[in-house]
Chains A and B, each alone.
Chain A
């Protein structure tokens, strides 16, 4: 069976709520993580992202001034010096389909609706570590492949042009968000 050595991973946690940061820190340390950096707003998180080069970012959405969605958009700058491919797990109280779609289009890798559980957090981390998706760069998107299912009959305006590619079979972000574990 495969397991994650959390002590080889560096985390950046961004949440303006100190209680949620404490819970996340407790969970990550219990999993075995040693390096957990914390920020209470998006702007500081962006600075810490450049400085510490975390392997995985876990961010809240709703924060004052510079929120988690903007943080994701800032990280997903293809020409940035730091790592624009870093997995981003959006941990949020938002639980509407529209929000999941917005997060996906901002380049978020995994969406985790609160209330948080140890199992659901572990599963999301396991997924980004063992099952990374290729990145797609288009005129107006840079981030993990948003296709999780092959749908060759799709003819909508966002249909990519230029031949077939291998697509990883995974449940959609919304389906995964529905499963808290």
Chain B
């Protein structure tokens, strides 16, 4: 594929930096439309996403199985760096995907697990039950999600796990201010 010729930027030099203003090569994609011609690309995309939603339960199950498999490796062989990293990535993917898939509480529990893996001073010293409870909770929330009566239970479970995890992490990091700051800082993601 032929590469387009790069546009020429203007450069202003200062004592310790340059300011480079690049011609906006993406302006080609901007157009003015009359109100009567307006469609709504966001609504169109939301509709397309809704069309995918019949896949979400299956996807969530796959993500949960991946998390369980990562934990099974740790139970068998211990916390090697690759095993720890895979557990983190599996939990982190659930944290990011679960709300989109309709499993917001599972996402919260996964976030709590990510915080434990990321901020525990020594992952080997984390009470085994704390990690196991998170993984069991995520699996249970996904398994029982179709039962409307369980949604409140799932939310309470996630919140309780987060509370216990934060208590542990705060105590374990009392002499690590940079981690303590990250643990106690509010999330940048707004609550629904």
B38 at the interface (CB under 8 A from A): yes
Contact status B14-A93, CB under 8 Å = no
Q: In chain B, what residue has the closest Cβ to A5? A: B29
Contact status A138-B45, CB under 8 Å = no
Q: Which of A5, A30, A92 has the most chain B CB atoms inside 10 A of its CB?
A: A30
Contact status A26-B95, CB under 8 Å = no
Contact status B26-A116, CB under 8 Å = no
B30 at the interface (CB under 8 A from A): yes
Q: Which residues of B contact A85 (CB under 8 A)?
A: 9, 20, 22
A8 at the interface (CB under 8 A from B): yes
Q: How many angstroms from the CA of A94 to the CA of B44 in the assembled complex?
A: 27
Q: In chain B, what residue has the closest Cβ to A4? A: B29
A29 at the interface (CB under 8 A from B): yes
Q: How many angstroms from the CA of A85 to the CA of B25 in the assembled complex?
A: 10
B149 at the interface (CB under 8 A from A): no
Partner of B100, one of A3, A56, A116: A116
Q: In chain A, what residue has the closest Cβ to B1? A: A52
Q: Which of B31, B55, B100, B189 has the most chain A CB atoms inside 10 A of its CB?
A: B189
Q: A30-B47, A96-B182, A161-B16 are in contact. Are A1 and B35 (CB under 8 A)?
A: yes
Q: How many angstroms from the CA of A22 to the CA of B97 in the assembled complex?
A: 12
Q: How many angstroms from the CA of A97 to the CA of B189 in the assembled complex?
A: 10
B69 at the interface (CB under 8 A from A): no
Contact status A19-B89, CB under 8 Å = no
Chain B interfacial residues counted at CB < 8 A? 62
Please give the distance in Å from A102's CB to the nearest CB on chain B.
12
B134 at the interface (CB under 8 A from A): no
Q: Which residues of B contact A137 (CB under 8 A)?
A: 17-18, 20
Q: Which residues of B contact A163 (CB under 8 A)?
A: 14
Contact status B92-A179, CB under 8 Å = no
Q: How large is the interface on A (under 10, 10 to 19, 20 to 34, 35 or more residues)?
A: 35 or more
Q: Which residues of B contact A115 (CB under 8 A)?
A: 96-100, 107
Contact status B190-A93, CB under 8 Å = no
Q: How many angstroms from the CA of A16 to the CA of B46 in the assembled complex?
A: 23
Please give the distance in Å from B102's CB to the nearest CB on chain A.
10
A114 at the interface (CB under 8 A from B): yes
A156 at the interface (CB under 8 A from B): no
Q: Which residues of B contact A160 (CB under 8 A)?
A: 14, 16-17
- Mark contacts of B1-44 with chain A using CB atoms, 8 A cut-off: 1 yes-contact digit, 0 otherwise: 10110100100101111111110111111111101001001101
Q: Which residues of B contact A9 (CB under 8 A)?
A: 26, 29
Please give the distance in Å from B93's CB to the nearest CB on chain A.
5
B166 at the interface (CB under 8 A from A): no
Partner of A3, one of B22, B33, B99: B33
**Known contacts A134-B22, A165-B19; 4 further A-B pairs (Cβ under 8 A):** A19-B59, A23-B52, A121-B45, A162-B14
- B-binding residues in A (CB < 8 A): 1-6, 8-9, 16-17, 19-20, 22-23, 26-27, 29-32, 51-53, 55-56, 62-64, 82-83, 85, 87, 92-98, 100, 113-116, 118-119, 121-122, 128-130, 132, 134-139, 145, 160-163, 165, 174, 177-180
Give 18 CB contacts A-B under 8 Å. Answer: A17-B97, A23-B52, A26-B51, A32-B41, A52-B1, A53-B3, A62-B92, A85-B20, A85-B22, A94-B92, A119-B46, A132-B26, A134-B20, A134-B21, A135-B21, A136-B17, A162-B17, A163-B14
Give the 6 A-B residue pairs with the shortest CB-CB distance, closest first. Answer: A162-B14, A93-B96, A114-B96, A162-B15, A118-B45, A115-B99
